[in-house]
Amino acid sequence: MLIRTIVLMFGAFALAPAGARAGCSPVASSIPRVWLTGADDNGITVTFLGHASFLIETPGHVTAVTDYNGYNVPSAPPDIATMNHAHGAHYTDFPDPRIRYVLRGWRDNGGPAEIDLTYRDMHVTNVPTNIRDWSGGTEAYGNSIFVFESAGVCIAHLGHLHHLLEPHDVYALGHIDVVMAPVDGAYTLSQQDIAAVLEQLQPRLVLPMHYFNRFVLQRFLELVRDRYDEQVSSSPTLRIARTTLPDRPTVIVLPGE
């Protein structure tokens, strides 16, 4: 069955010349933003696979899956898989061997993961954060916020975020257009705190994930309704282009959880 794709139809922004190197420049930087462009500028395609996994495809057909766990997966293996260490729904020790780049958002020695990968028209970086461990303590750098850049769009996947962002985290992330946010309100952050993180990042689009059921999702939507427009899609697939980002911050719910 042909999957319908939503194309956002808001706003207008000029693109840098084709072939420019991308940068979600730090928010305090005065460096002009230029972009890593693909074969064309029709935008990035995002498909919600379930839980915390999205398939991201660039104009040049590079694919990445977030929080790759081995079962919320697309029909073909992605070029890039990112993972986080909270629990087995966010990583696997047995990724498909056909995946070109497996990017773990933690290091087994306890240090911060440092990722800066450019593959064709996709650039992937990370900002490490801490998580709670199963004993009630803290696993330093057990989570990474992954940033995906292509075609003038900067997407941040928050992973299994367990704390508000520090100023240096916000600076390191830079200008973010789209946030993939866990909104369960229990296992990650409270819904009030995830709303505060969104205020820190000021994205144009928010894609909820990690919400388990419609009741939890509805509570989050009610919480942010006065600050965000809301769209509920019948398709798990969304096309996002720099030229069509909405003027008013918008939450788009994609089916798939």
Determine the pLDDT at residue 22: 40
Q: Does the residue 109 lie in any domain?
A: yes
Domain-embedded: residue 24: no
Handedness of CA 5, 79, 148, 107 (dihedral sign): positive
Q: Look over the chain and give the mean of its residue pLDDT values, rounded to a whole number.
A: 84
Structural domain of residue 71, as residue ranges? Answer: 6-12+37-253
pLDDT band at 97 (very low <50, low <70, confident <90, very high): very high
In a domain, 222, yes or no: yes
Q: Residue 178 domain-assigned?
A: yes
Which pLDDT band holds residue 16 (cuts at 50, 70, 90)? very low
DSSP track, 162-210:
-SPPPHHHHHHH-S-SEEEEE--SSSS--HHHHHHHHHHH--SEEEEE-
207 part of a folded domain: yes
pLDDT band (50, 70, 90) for residue 81: very high
pLDDT at residue 171, rounded to an integer: 92
Give the CATH number for residue 113. Answer: 3.60.15.10
* pLDDT at residue 3, as a whole number: 39
Residue 83 lies in a domain: yes
Is 19 among the domain residues? no
Considering its fold, how many domains does the chain have in total? 1
CA dihedral 67, 68, 72, 77 (to 10 degrees): 140
Contact criterion met (CB below 8 Å) for 63 and 79: yes
Identify the pLDDT of residue 137.
Answer: 76
Q: Which residue has the higher pLDDT, 82 or 18?
A: 82
pLDDT band at 83 (very low <50, low <70, confident <90, very high): very high
Neighbouring C-alpha atoms within 13 Å toward the C-beta of 169: 20
Residue-wise pLDDT for 31-64, tens only, equals 455 555 554 467 999 999 999 999 999 999 999 9
- Is the distance from CB of 90 to CB of 99 less than 8 angstroms? no
Q: Which phi and psi (to 5°) does residue 171 adopt?
A: -60, -45
pLDDT, residue 24, reads: 73
pLDDT at 21: 35
Alpha-carbon Rg for the chain in angstroms: 17
**pLDDT tens column, 220-242:** 999 999 999 999 999 999 999 99
In a domain, 32, yes or no: no
Mean pLDDT of 201-214: 93
The type of residue at 27 is: V
Least confident range from 4-13, 31-40, 84-93, 227-236: namely: 4-13
| Pairing of the two strands 116-119 and 101-104 | unpaired
Per-residue pLDDT tens over the stretch 109-158: 878 899 999 999 999 999 999 777 767 777 778 889 999 999 999 999 99
Helix (H, G, I), strand (E, B) or coil at 122: strand
